[in-house]
Structure 1
Amino acid sequence: MNSATEYQVSTDFSRILLCIDSTTPSARLAGFARQLATEKTQVRIVGVLENARAVFPLGPLAGFNLSAAHAQLLKAVKDGCVAAHECLTASGASVDSEIIDLVKDGGDAAHALAHEAQKWQADLMVLGSRHHRGLLRWVERAASAPVLKIASCAILVVPEQCERDWSGRPQRILFAVDGSPASLEALRSGSKLAAAGALFRAIYVVDRAARVTDFVPLAVLQDAFVEEGKVALANAREAFAPPRDAEGVMLDGALTETDLTSDDVPHAILREATRWQADLLVMGTHGRRGVARWMLGSVSGRVAELTQMPLLLVRKNDSR
C-alpha cells in the first residue's frame, strides 16, 4: 500500500534545550542541534551533574574517592557545555547555559530536565546517549514516564554510535504511526526538522508475531492490524494536507510487517528505517498495543534502546 501527498514544511523549533551530562559526546550532539538552529532560535545548554554515588554505585566498596569523582564529573560537564556553546554560537542562535547540580539541589535528572524544559518553555529537548548509559536511561521504558509525563516538548535522542552526521537538516524522515493522537502530533513536530524538499515516509507495522499475552487468535489480530493500519495511514495523509498555495514535500505511506517468529514491532520499524536510509526516525510515545506492553515496555522505549539513528519522540500535547 503506497500513497503520496504534499505538505508545506512548518515553522522551526524556536526554543531548543540541549542536555549534557558527563558521558555525552557534546560537540557531536551540538552539531546536530546546530543544523536545527537559526538566528531566531534560542538554545539553552543544560549540564546535568549527577551524584557520583549514583554514577559509580560500587565506588565506596572499592575505596573510591567520591569527592574526587564529583570533581571529575563536574569538569566533564563543564567542558561539554563549553564545547557545545562554541559549536552552537556559529549558527547565529542565541545561546546560554547553566549547570544543574543534583548533589546540591537533590532530585533526579529526569525531573530536573522536565522541570527545566517546562520552566524555560522549550519546544525541543535534545539528548545525546550511549546505550544504557548517560541521559538515555531517562527516556527508556519505565524511566521515560517522568520526563514524558511532565515535559510538554518533543525529545530528540542522538545515539553516540549514530552511523552518520547531518550535513544539513534531515532529507529523509520516517514516521512510525499507530493511529494514536501521539502519532499525529509526531507528524506535526517531525515536519519542523525537515530540509526543503525532504522526503517523508509514514509506516504502520502489522504485527504478525504471536504473543503469549494476546488473547485473540493471531489471524484475527493480523486482520485488525491491517485495517487499523489503513486508517492510521489515511489519518497521516490528512494531517499532512497542504495549504492551497503550499509548495510541499512528498509523503509516502506504506504497511510493513513483522516476521512470524522471533520478531517484534520495534525491530521491524528499525529495519524499515535502515532499508529506506532514513536520516531521522519519528514516533509518538503514547501508542498502545496489546497486553504485552506491560511486560515488554513501550514500542518507542524499545526503539530508543536499539536505534542507531536520531530518534524524535513526541508526546501528545493535550492543550491542542
Structure 2
Amino acid sequence: MELQTENLDTVTAFKRILLCVDPTVASARAAAFVPNLANKETHVRIVGVLENARAVIPFGPLAAFHLSAAHAQLLAAVESACAVAKEMFTSSGAVVEIQILDLVTHGGEVVHELTKCAQDWKADLLVMGSRQHQGLLHWIEGPLSEPLMKFAECAIFVIPERCDFVWRGGPQRILFAADGSSASQEALRTVARLANARTDLRAVHVLDLAALLTDFVPHTLLQDALVEQGDTALASASELFEGLTDAGGPRLDTALLRTDEANDDVAHAIVREAARWHADLLVMGTHGRRGVVRCLLGSVANRVVAVARTPLLLVREKDIP
C-alpha cells in the first residue's frame, strides 16, 4: 500500500545519511524511504554489507563448497543492490556515493563495522531494514537493529520488513512517544525539523498499568501519580513544540494511553496506537543504556523495533549538545 500524500519540498533534518544495503527484502524496503529525507543539501553514503561467505553458508565446506566463488556471487548481489538504491536518488539532487563493506577484508562483525563507518564518516542518521524473525530463528539471529542501538552514536532509522507502505514526499502522520526525558525532548526537536504545515503530529505518553501491582502502595495513588507525570510530559512536549515551529506550522495533538493491566507493555501500546492512528513514522528518544542497567531495565525501543510495522526513528540522548 502506498500512502496517498503529495510531493512536498522537504528541508531535511539530516545532512549526512548512511544507508545500509544488502540483498534482502528488508534492505530494499529501507532504501525506498531515504530519498524522501534527502535534497540537494544532503550527502548520502550507501554502504553495501558483504558478509563472510563462511558465515552466510556455514555448512558449505562439508558440501564441496567453493569459498571464492561464493564470495564473488555475494559481492555481485551486494553491488547490484547498491546500484538499485543509488538510482532512487536521481531526482533528489543529493550527493550519493557507494562503499562496499567487505567483512572478509575488514574482519570484525557487522554491528561494529557499521558503527565505525558511521562514526568515521560523521553520519547524523543511520538507515537500515529490520528483519523481524519469530520463534527460534529470532533467538539465533535477532534483528541487527537491536545491537546497533547500543553502539551507534547517531540517530537510527529502522524500517520493518513487515511495513506495507512507502512515503510520497516525506512522512505526513508522525506519532511521537513522549516521556518527559531529555532524550524525548531531543526527539521532538527532530520531529519539528521533519514536519511541515500539512503534517499531522501526535504525541503520546503511556501509563504502564501492568507495572502498578504492589502490596505497599494503593493502586489508585500510583495511578494518579502516573497520570500526573504523563500530563506533565505531554504539556512539556506541547510547550517545546510551540517554541520550535513558526506560526502556521503543524499542530501537535496529544494523548494519554494506558496499557492493559495484564499481559501488556508500553511497547505494544505504542505500536497499537501507531496502527490505529495510521502513523507513517514513529519517533522515540533512546537513552543509550549499556551493560547491567540495560539488561535489568530492557529497552522499550528494542521491543518496539521487534513488533512495529511502522518506520521507526530513534534519536539518541547522547547526541544532545
Task: Sort the TM-score into its range (normalised by shorter chain).
Answer: 0.7 to 0.9
Give the Cα–Cα distance (whole angstroms) in 1 for the partners of residues 13 and 265 of structure 2.
34
Give 1:294 shift: 3.3
Match of 2:39 in 1: 38
CA distance in 2, matches of 1:32, 1:16: 12
Report SS of the residue matched to 1:188: helix
CA distance in 2, matches of 1:199, 1:128: 25
Q: Give the equivalent residue in structure 2 for 1:146.
A: 151
| Aligned mates of 1:131, 1:84 — CA distance in 2 | 22
Matches within 5 A, 1:157-236: 157-210=158-211, 217=217, 219=219, 220-236=221-237
Contact 1:26 1:83 in 2 (8 A): no
Give the structure 2 partner of residue 262 of structure 1: 263
SS of residue paired to 1:38: coil
Distance 1:62 1:271, change over 3 A: farther
Aligned to 1:315: 316
Query: 1:247: which partner in 2?
Result: 248
- Cα pair 1:137 1:143 within 8 Å, conserved: no
Question: Counterpart of 1:179 in 2: which secondary structure?
Answer: coil
Aligned residue for 1:77, secondary structure, equals: helix
Contact 1:242 1:248 in 2 (8 A): no
Q: Identity percentage over the alignment?
A: 55
Q: 3-state SS of the aligned residue for 1:88? A: coil
- Mark the runs of 5 or more structure 2 residues left unpaired by the alignment: 1-9
* 1:125 aligned partner: 126
Structural mapping, 1:1-40, within 5 Å? 12-40=13-41
Cα offsets for 1:33-78 (capped at 9, x unmatched): 1111112211111111122233344544566544343333222211
2:196–2:249 Cα contact (<8 Å) kept: no
Question: In structure 1, what is the Cα distance between the partners aligned to 2:129 and 2:54?
Answer: 22
Q: Which moved more, 1:220-229 or 1:153-162?
A: 220-229
Letter in 2 for 1:137: P
Shift of 1:293: 6.4
Q: CA RMSD in A?
A: 2.9
Are the equivalent residues in 2 in contact too, given 1:13–1:123 (CA < 8 A)? Answer: yes
Residues 58, 215 of structure 1: alpha-carbon distance in 2 compared, 3 angstrom cutoff: farther
Instruction: State the one-letter code of the partner of 2:145.
Output: V
Paired residues, number: 303
What code does the residue aligned with 1:174 have?
L
Mapped to 1, the partners of 2:313 and 2:245 lie a distance apart of 28
Question: What per-residue deviation string (whole Å, max 9, x for no partner) do you get for residues 76-134 of structure 1?
Answer: 2111100001111222111111111111111222222222212222111111222148x
Give the deviation of 1:269 after TM superposition. Answer: 0.4
Please list every run of 5 or more consecutive structure 1 residues that lacks an aligned counterpart in the other structure. 1-8
Distance (Å, rounded) in 2 between the aligned partners of 1:244 and 1:166:
23
Cα deviations by residue, 1:129-168 (Å, 9 ceiling, x for unpaired) = 22148x982322x563123xxx2x2111112221211122
Deviates further, 277-286 or 22-31 = 22-31
Residue 70 of structure 1 corresponds to: 71
Matched residue, 2:97: 96
* Letter paired with 2:182: P
Task: Check whether the contact 2:150–2:288 (CA below 8 A) recurs between aligned residues.
Answer: no
Give the direction of change, closer, same or farther, for the CA distance of 1:207–1:63 in structure 2 (3 Å limit).
farther
| TM-score normalised by the chain length of structure 1 | 0.84
Structure 1 303/62 Cα, relative in aligned 2: closer, same or farther at 3 Å? Answer: farther
Letter of the 1:186 counterpart: A
CA distance in 2, matches of 1:60, 1:229: 57
**Is the contact between residue 171 and residue 198 of structure 1 (CA under 8 Å) also seen in structure 2?**
yes
